[in-house]
Structure 1
Amino acid sequence: MNDLPVIRTRRDIEQIEQTPLAERDLPASTYELIQRTAQLHPQAPALSFLLQGQPGEPVYRLTYPQLLGKITQTANAFHRLGLRPGKAVSFLLPNLPQTHFTIWGGEAAGIVNAINPLLDAEHIAELIHASDSELLVTLAPFPGTDLWAKVDALRDQLPELKAIICVDMANLLPDAQRDAIKAQRGPLPDGVLDFDELIAACPADHLESGRRIQADDIASYFHTGGTTGTPKLAPHSHGNEVAMAYSMNLVTRFGPGDVTLCGLPLFHVNGVIVTGLTAFIGGAEVLLATPQGYRNTTLISHFWSIIERHKVSFFSGVPTIYAGLLQIPSEGHDLSSLKYALCGAAPMPVELIRQFEVKTGLTLLEGYGLTEGTCGSCANPPAGERRPGSIGLPMPYCQVSIKVLDDQGNYLREAQPNEIGNLCIRGATVFKGYLQASKNQGIWVDGDWFNTGDLGRVDADGYIWLTGRSKDLIIRGGHNIDPQMIEEALHKHPAVALAAAVGKPDEKAGELPVVYIQLKPGSQASEAELLSHAAAHIHERAAVPKDAWLIDAIPLTAVGKTFKPALRFDAIRRVYQAALHELDGDIRVEVLSDDQQGQLAHVHLPPGSAHLEKTVHERLAGFAVGCVVHAPH
């Protein structure tokens, strides 16, 4: 892919876009995309897999024609089981070769629905129902895993499933270990199909359905919007995913000989698109780094050895991954194969970027995207000027605009240079709306621009800077405080591994800023010392946090992003608990999500204190977050 244009400035992107995307001769579907690459690069490795994360372990590897054959067999197996275009197959899997077969084979036969394996059983059932899935692919019983137990507990609630198909990880082990596990476990549960046996019985050279996939056909559903409340599914068309891979590769410039390491989960668009379809469109090799990816401590401890041994040229992560890798010595390893690494999914503190680059010598690029945009919308140009703290320039064919909205979210005007507004996107990579029509109210502004909910500004050279997420803003007496400002200051403290700022309820100001701190292993710092450091490095007086709370670990989503709802709930709990402590030291407060109010405090009174119910309501009346009092009778 060396004939790809080089992007250095906004002008280079405009030059690329002078040729309409419709004239780029892109494949109509993800299946055709992989077909084309298999024809162009028949000898190139496409997909490789490490089971344990050890530097010297054997590697499972497929060339592009072999990968295409597995995908075709999988599509044919699903078709034989009754899957048709417009119907879905759900998958509940770790990062395995069979996960890729399921994703692209599922898209060739129907629609693939990705489910986070870390969700609880009831939420998994909701996603299967919401996606109207007819098939489910999951993991066979295997030591140290609980996926089958979750599915088994749900089987009676899923009568619409025509089949449950299990991937047996024992098949990935050496013969002796495989046989021992299977002997101990016994046969697969009744009525459950073996994935490998199922696809082996199907042809690998053509789609038995004879389907001609169109660019507008829905390819996938990806769950977005957190892990609480009713499911919110974002449908992607084949055209969305192909356009995303093409646009992304104009930035990454993957080609034969490149190796992209995948450590992010394959139920998330970053793992599927950045270190998946984008690599496939360029003819690069995808290295699946263990079923658990970055959650595998063995992989992390040997990370730089694996980069060296497999000559990895690119990997993608989130800020918490880079913070963890800072603790792993990289000295003495040959990292010359690495072109750069990409950070997305959450803003990367500038100080963390500086520390990482100084330690490793590696160039770290920040990008930005979201599920509704199929994956990426912006990135710093690898060949151009990189502005740490910025999410870079819009990717080719991805339109990005900063719009000023009123208090009701209605469009007022375009933002001026460096004026903060709502970041909105549109173009060939942007979805057409959530699967559930009820979720689409207010998501479009100024016509067909999708309102991401993020706030940002564009500088005079076209670089885009996030200034926070509208729902993450701390609003102190009508004054908007960007939590990133607080987090950046705390990351400059040598003992701080991660910092996350949220608002705590206050009777007078509405909210006051507080910060949660996770210290580096072996480091020490008092809360008073951290507050003093914050005061010295935050120039906006209103943004100086009122509390610095040390916790063992910042809560994370399954992708590794900071999960701020959990911190906001904890801050409410602490404030309410303190306000009620003098009434009775045994009063217990918990804060839960509520579909109507967003968050609700539940106050549990101890036995014999029902008479305090009225006093509790009076004591908490000045706070914005509502409460329910539970008094024992």
Structure 2
Amino acid sequence: MEPAMGSGDDTWQPGRIGPFADDAAITLAEQTPLEVRFAARTPYDAISASARRCPDKAATLFLPNGLAGDTPESTTYAQLLDGLVRAANLFRSMGVGSTDVVAVLLPNVPEFHAVIWGATTAGVAFPINYLLEPAHIAQLIRTSGARVLVTVAPAFDAEIWNRAEAARRMVDTLDVVVAVRGSAPGAIDYAAALQTVLGESLTFLPEKEFDDVTVLVNTGGSTGHPKIACQTNRNLLFEAWVLGAIRERRQAECSICGGPLFHAAGLIITGLMPLFWGSTILMLSPYGYRAKGVIGDLWNIVVKYNVTHATLVPTILTVLAGLPFKPVPSTLKSIGCGAAPLPQPLHDKFLKLTGLPVSQGYGLTEAGCAVTTTQHSETPFGSIGRRLPYVQVRIVILDENGNELRDAADGEYGVIAVRGPNVFAGYVGERNGKATWLQGGWLNTGDLGYRDSDGFYWLIGRAKDIIVRSGHNIDPRVIEDALLRLDGIRDAAAVGMPDAYAGELPVAFVVADPIAALTADDILHKVGLSIPERAAIPKRIILTDGLPKTRVDKIDKGRLRATAARLAMVEALTSAGIGTDHYTIADEAGGGMRFVVRTTSAAHGDLGMRIKAALDPLGVPVTVV
């Protein structure tokens, strides 16, 4: 049995579980009760333990411009704990109780961690996407019932402050606004306020239990109607522990934080996980990979700071693969990739450049951020890996009303269902929704997949309709609602079209009134004016006489996604100089987003290989015959 780990053991050193040769090995590891694996029951416990083990070690190194030449701003574990305690005491002095919500509208600044984990200690933290429009921010604050809003001062980022100020005017439930990194009219100066409260110890008795809700995360798209997931201390700490344990985290390690911390994956994988294990977070500017020059300088940063772990998305990997490659330091142990499927040619290129396979997995906000991974088992490419220890996964067959019929056989497509310590406590205002849960407390992910006979899971498609563009979640209803508000539009449906760079691009199928005489360009221009976020503006309008329907008269988005995929495939092949007279595209037997491309010309002996090379970057499962 591995030693217990947690806040009361100052001599604790990180342990490891895995690798796992098969499911039986995972089951064997589960014989040790999860509660014995670590003693921390709140993020405060975990960070306190790290501060006792390594008080003078850098918890965060902040590069203001995200460049290797920057002078880093260091925050030690002792300083982080002091800031966390002060933030918790400050929020409690503002009247924040254990179930009250603190909304956090911050970019990736060092104060983020003291604020967010201080908020979870005093109450409930709600990190919000600072790129959203004010009306959407206000809607999220209103839905969550947040009483306090923490954001950046106008001198640091006027655009974020202006969004926060505009949102504040739309919400009458906010008691306090706090400004970080400067002062602001009508707001409390965070730095000054911290000096008025204790940092040595909490001024209140922490009431939070292991299964209490501690963080809210917006899901259902970064645009659209609020769907706010409630995550518990158990959810966060389990993911922080298990994702570190399978990576053999060590206190001497350094991982990059370049993605937004308001996402569940960013909050855990590049936030709480390294803090739990006592390693260093290298924060690449307030805006991460979005900041100018960051991606181009990334390898210099990896070398200079002896980075051990980097979590990226396919779009960034694509850019990096084209840059002059410096010798990779021996400290670099892993590259993780999420948010979108990784094309095999890109994976193979990085493997050749770095000698490291790019690990992948499957997760969703409602299940912490990870369910399966390729990191703890040798995995065939294309699979999302084996399940994480202590996480149960089933493939189930549902009827058209979402009722469970039976378990799927190995190799049979079905809906992925998850149960375990990573599964959330429900949505704000909808804790027990029928569409969310199956019998026995299983989470209905809404994603389609299958399990093979070796215990590996494969993701086939997204039964949910969220469009993922470069890791950015887009609710198709935002596009559809905007289209349906236009004169002359009878019906509309938005789906994701596979894209080699972004993973998916939003496209909309539109039924227009013939009398209106609208062109696709007319519609695209008009709808672009009414969609509040640029990422959600469709890349294309596809005019059609009617939308396909299911047997219960609902729009069949599966067929629309397949149509969009075929369109992307045809365009990719055309760009490669392969005309439509040389092949046909058909659905693979069994359904789902899988296709068979048959060559119709024997003139070119390498035609099949050319077709595969042209289609591989799209990430669409294709068999060429």
Give me the TM-score of the superposition, normalised by structure 1.
0.74
- Determine the structure 1 residue equivalent to 2:613: none
Tell me the alpha carbon deviations over residues 516-552 of structure 1, each in whole angstroms, 9 at most, x when there is no partner.
Answer: 9999xxxx9895646648975967489589xxxxxxx
Distance between the aligned counterparts of 2:365 and 2:205, measured in 1? 30
Tell me the alpha carbon deviations over residues 482-502 of structure 1, each in whole angstroms, 9 at most, x when there is no partner.
Answer: x99x95xx85xxxx7866597
* Structure 2 residue matching 1:298: 3-state secondary structure: coil
Q: 1:112 to 1:358 in 2, by over 3 A?
A: same
Distance between the aligned counterparts of 2:406 and 2:502, measured in 1? 40
**Residue-pair matches, total:** 508
Distance between the aligned counterparts of 2:466 and 2:288, measured in 1? 32
The offset of 1:64, in angstroms, is 1.6
* Structure 2 residue matching 1:58: 3-state secondary structure: coil
CA contact 2:66–2:283 (8 Å) conserved in 1: no
**Residues 1:239 and 2:252 are matched in the alignment:** no
- Determine the structure 1 residue equivalent to 2:5: none
Tell me the alpha carbon deviations over residues 583-628 of structure 1, each in whole angstroms, 9 at most, x when there is no partner.
Answer: xxxxxxxxxxxxxxxxxxxxxxxxxxxxxxxxxxxxxxxxxxxxxx
CA contact 2:379–2:456 (8 Å) conserved in 1: no
- Determine the structure 1 residue equivalent to 2:50: 37
Match of 2:15 among 3, 11, 29: 3
Match of 1:226 among 212, 221, 227: 221
Q: 1:428 to 1:253 in 2, by over 3 A?
A: same
**Residues 1:514 and 2:564 are matched in the alignment:** yes
Q: 1:418 to 1:136 in 2, by over 3 A?
A: same
Match of 2:268 among 267, 273, 286: 273
Task: Give the 5 Å matches for 1:75-90.
Answer: 75-90=88-103
CA contact 1:17–1:396 (8 Å) conserved in 2: yes
Q: 1:530 to 1:278 in 2, by over 3 A?
A: farther
Distance between the aligned counterparts of 2:33 and 2:580, measured in 1? 52
2:451 aligned partner, one-letter code: V
- Determine the structure 2 residue equivalent to 1:140: 153
Distance between the aligned counterparts of 1:214 and 1:250, measured in 2? 23
2:39 aligned partner, one-letter code: L
- Determine the structure 2 residue equivalent to 1:378: 372
* Identity in percent: 33
Q: 1:307 to 1:412 in 2, by over 3 A?
A: same
Q: 1:288 to 1:408 in 2, by over 3 A?
A: same
- Determine the structure 2 residue equivalent to 1:149: 162
Distance between the aligned counterparts of 1:473 and 1:54, measured in 2? 33
Task: Give the 5 Å matches for 1:301-450.
Answer: 301-330=296-325, 332-382=326-376, 384-437=377-430, 440-450=433-443
1:325 aligned partner, one-letter code: L
- Determine the structure 1 residue equivalent to 2:491: none
Tell me the alpha carbon deviations over residues 327-367 of structure 1, each in whole angstroms, 9 at most, x when there is no partner.
Answer: 3222x333322111111222222233223323443320001
CA contact 1:499–1:517 (8 Å) conserved in 2: no
- Determine the structure 1 residue equivalent to 2:66: 53
The offset of 1:297, in angstroms, is 2.8
- Determine the structure 2 residue equivalent to 1:298: 293
CA contact 2:16–2:247 (8 Å) conserved in 1: no
CA contact 1:232–1:436 (8 Å) conserved in 2: no
Distance between the aligned counterparts of 1:498 and 1:218, measured in 2? 32
Distance between the aligned counterparts of 2:306 and 2:329, measured in 1? 8
CA contact 2:98–2:122 (8 Å) conserved in 1: yes
Tell me the alpha carbon deviations over residues 377-402 of structure 1, each in whole angstroms, 9 at most, x when there is no partner.
Answer: 111135x3132211111111111111
* Structure 1 residue matching 2:347: 3-state secondary structure: helix
Match of 1:214 among 209, 224, 233: 209
* Structure 2 residue matching 1:146: 3-state secondary structure: helix
Distance between the aligned counterparts of 1:293 and 1:515, measured in 2? 31
The offset of 1:410, in angstroms, is 0.9
Match of 1:193 among 188, 195, 203: 188
The offset of 1:91, in angstroms, is 0.7
Distance between the aligned counterparts of 2:226 and 2:508, measured in 1? 26
The offset of 1:37, in angstroms, is 1.7
Q: Structure 2 stretches of 5 or more lacking a match?
A: 1-12, 468-494, 510-541, 549-559, 589-593, 598-617, 619-625
1:514 aligned partner, one-letter code: A
Deviates more, 1:370-379 or 1:227-236: 227-236
2:410 aligned partner, one-letter code: P
Q: 1:473 to 1:120 in 2, by over 3 A?
A: closer
CA RMSD of aligned residues (A): 3.1
Deviates more, 1:249-258 or 1:505-514: 505-514
Distance between the aligned counterparts of 2:35 and 2:156, measured in 1? 49
